[in-house]
Structure 1
Amino acid sequence: MKQKHLVLAMLVTILSILLVSEAMAADVYKIGGIFSVTGSASFLGDPEKKTMEMMVEQINAAGGIDGHMLEAVIYDSEGDPAKAVSAVNKLIHKDQVIAIIGPSTTPTTLAIVNFTKRAKVPLISCAAGIKITTPVDPWVFKTAQSDLLAVAALYQQMQAAGIKKIGILTVSNAYGESGKLQLLDQAEKFGIQVILSESFGDKDTDTTTQLAKIKAAGPDAIVCWGTNPGPAVVAKNAKQLKIDIPLYQSHGVGSPKFIELAGDAADGNILPTGKILVTSLLDDSDPQKKVLKDYQTTYENKYSAAVSGFGGYAYDAVNLLAGALKGSGGDKEKIRDNLEATKGYVGATGEFNFTAEDHNGLSPAAFVMVEIKNGTWTLLK
């Protein structure tokens, strides 16, 4: 009889362990990621993927969110909108994630927003285009500084430098079109005239024809709006043509990859960027400095690679999502509501204050102007 009771007790214990294990497995918070890990935009997506994985490890090592471990399911879009659509459908229907971070680029983000909206899954994009969050979609947020703020920062510096006439050269995709719209719309406000507008394909290997046209028009400066490798081609071609007026770039080239691709042609290029590229030059009173130093140290120690502002977008997205997951019980609507209520989060990209009318939540203070000198970033005052 005692033996039967012992066997029964053991069976009950084993069953209990199995049930608890199953409950714990079901209790994991599964979150998705879509990044351009490979392809021409890998300089964006690779550090974003690595950062997301690193942050999830850190959160889990600290006990997770309200005792729930995080599981990151990440797909590579290769920078292709069609592959981003395939990835988002897998995340929503197969993996059943409760939130998604990414994609890395404006075109891939715009390709998936309707899917996340219909499924009511919170999305935190790492791309810059203002169309991602304007008009506001209740389920779509983003961490990258918008091109509206980038153009304003760029034009303020031009205004101070006495630049009146510019030529613009923009990439032929959603990111370039969004930047072009802001460059044209804001010019008059800053007393700047766009005298010629040209474009280039995101896979073009030569832009001398467009640059020659702009040079002949006689501008005081040229603005290139795109993401690598195109802007590096523009910088090289401008040097080959001996164009001796300032060349401005967008925040889409704010990583060591641009200097690597452009070589000595990168010197003299000016751009608006997040503070991560000039962390050591920031005043100690800047609230972002400690955050940036901590992120840089952790990332560089783990991956033996230089940190970039693009990885910073994922760093902020994971931290913002972690804050929104607290007290949500994994309910997607509560996560969305908590994201929208986020105030005063100081991250790698800036200080975020989301509202129902603003799902980017950043101010102009998220940007600094930098110039590349001798292959490194210098801070413009």
Structure 2
Amino acid sequence: MIAEDHEERAPQGRPSGGDPPRQFQTPPHRKIIHVDMDAFFASVEQRDNPDLRGKAVAVGGSSERGVVAAASYEARKFGVHSAMPSVTARRKCPDLIFVKPRFDVYKAVSTQIREIFAEYTAIIEPLSLDEAYLDVTTNLKGIETATEIAQEIRAAIRSKIGLTASAGVSYNKFLAKLASDHRKPDGMFVITPRMGPAFVEGMAVEKFHGVGPATKAKMNRLGIHTGRDLRSQALPFLIENFGKAGGHFYWISRGVDHRPVRADRIRKSVGAEQTFALDMTDLAAMREALEPVIDKVWRHCETTGVRGRTVTLKVKFSDFDLITRSRTLPHAIDTRAELARNVFETLTGAFPFRKPVRLLGVSISSLGAAQAGDQDQLTLGL
């Protein structure tokens, strides 16, 4: 069932707890769509190989050290999900079919999808290859409602690209994202201004953007399980327990989020990582293994012109525990040699490790505004 589509109306009154921060202050009325492709990587593989259709498919490595990058909905029924070790996925679903990822294909398909978006609006904020926000408050086709635009986009993706997408329509980004999750896969839902606060009240807190497993556990310990529970908390209490995020939780629990859709959203980081066939304990071997990872990151920097000041080393151990170590320089890193030197110094400073190392990754952040066009926030896998 699709709710009736209405334009946003300014909130009546203001909840107690002080003035909202700038991103929550009342903007012009908006109509926002969040489009999320359904099991994107796996669906592309099923589209391109008819033998995989209707079957449990995992995109990723099938070896003992492999990790699932994406899972079809047939596989998800068995509890298989992204970032799961392949051995665990195989145990949960013995008939699981592993397919090697084809990131060049996924990126090409993503470009086709964005071309469809661009027929309706220039205000597109990609979040990854498979999802984006669209501001259609005013649109290029003069269509009256955001609901109709979302329906047309989903139909075009199905007919032109052969894939399905879910869409959420609402008056802010937070609710549009919740709405797109509400009818997945291959569904659509609209949250109107009248529906917004009540819809949020009934949501489990783990459905909220920014609430991961650790935050969920802390909220639950404090007796906060739903949006209604969250809304009943005072702003000082939430800030005391969750820091800056407490203010975010305070406002979104009231259905308030006036962040604009940013077509010029600047990429926050670029990174690459490598999972090893055998666990590593030797520093020299780790340095050698990091060379192609550094190459991958720097190649992207050179291609796009992006430069950054913060270097982060990611280390995942054999038991899947994860640590990161970062260093921020007073200037942007301008050569591959400088990047490598900072990565190796960070690695040496963190060494020795108490456990064998399964994965190493490198990323650059604090990026300068002089970067070029590619806006995909996607870890560049090797």
Class of the TM-score when normalised by the shorter of the 2 chains: under 0.3
TM-score norm. by structure 1 comes to 0.25
Looking at secondary structure, tell me which structure has more helix per residue: 1
TM-score norm. by structure 2 comes to 0.25
